[in-house]
Amino acid sequence: MPVLRPRIALALAAISALAACNSTREAADIPAAPHRPQSVDTEGVVPEYCPKISLRENTAILRKGEIGKQQYIASITQTTRECHVLNGELYLKVGVSGRVVAGPAGEGGTAALPIRVAVVSGADTLYSNRGTQSVAYAQGSPGRFVYVDEAIRVPEPPARNYAIFVGFDEGK
């Protein structure tokens, strides 16, 4: 037990020293900052509006092979986006992540996942790109993937009417 006392004393001294350096202010004492776009240096300005991402119906899951004999099943589990405006154009970085599991007939391997990212305004398609992301998977051990499309550049939206769609796209 004598070994623990110096350790406890040392931990308490460190906590006390950190607490002495910390100062708090009441929320009423902190002036509210006006809401405005943040500067992103030479990359432009972070806009107040960044379009939301949606998954088109039937594009969140990709099954490779016939029912009951699938080699693998891939699913999109998360999406994210980053926006900035420069010279009247909206630059977007869209990320898609997910996993691949071996199907009933699959033993593992590498899957080439076809992922489409599109930006639309009403019925108009402003941007559309189909990329491929490779992911290794094994029976009993899912593979994880992250796909990022950084090449999106569209006109700055005059209203909040843009939408970003992502999903698997086996179309040629």
CA distances from 158 to 38, 39, 88, 89 (A): 19, 20, 10, 11
What percent of the chain stands above pLDDT 70? 75
| Averaged pLDDT for residues 51-55 | 96
Phi first, then psi: give them for residue 132, nearest 5 degrees: -130, 135
Give me the CATH code for the 38-168 domain, please: 2.60.40
Domain ranges of the chain: 38-168
pLDDT digits (tens, 9 = 90+) for 125-136: 999 999 999 999
| Averaged pLDDT for residues 47-57 | 93
Q: Is residue 12 classed as helix, strand or coil in its secondary structure?
A: helix
Q: What is the spatial distance between Cα 89 and Cα 119, in angstroms, rounded to a whole number?
A: 13
- 103 or 68: whose pLDDT is higher? 103
Residues counted in the chain: 172
Supply the pTM of this predicted model. 0.72
Q: Is residue 38 classed as helix, strand or coil in its secondary structure?
A: strand
Name which of 166, 159, 169 is nearest 127 in CA terms: 166
pLDDT digits (tens, 9 = 90+) for 2-15: 444 444 444 434 33
DSSP structure class, residue 5: H
Mean pLDDT of the chain: 80
- Quote the pLDDT of residue 41: 45
89-102 vs 143-155, strand pairing mode: antiparallel
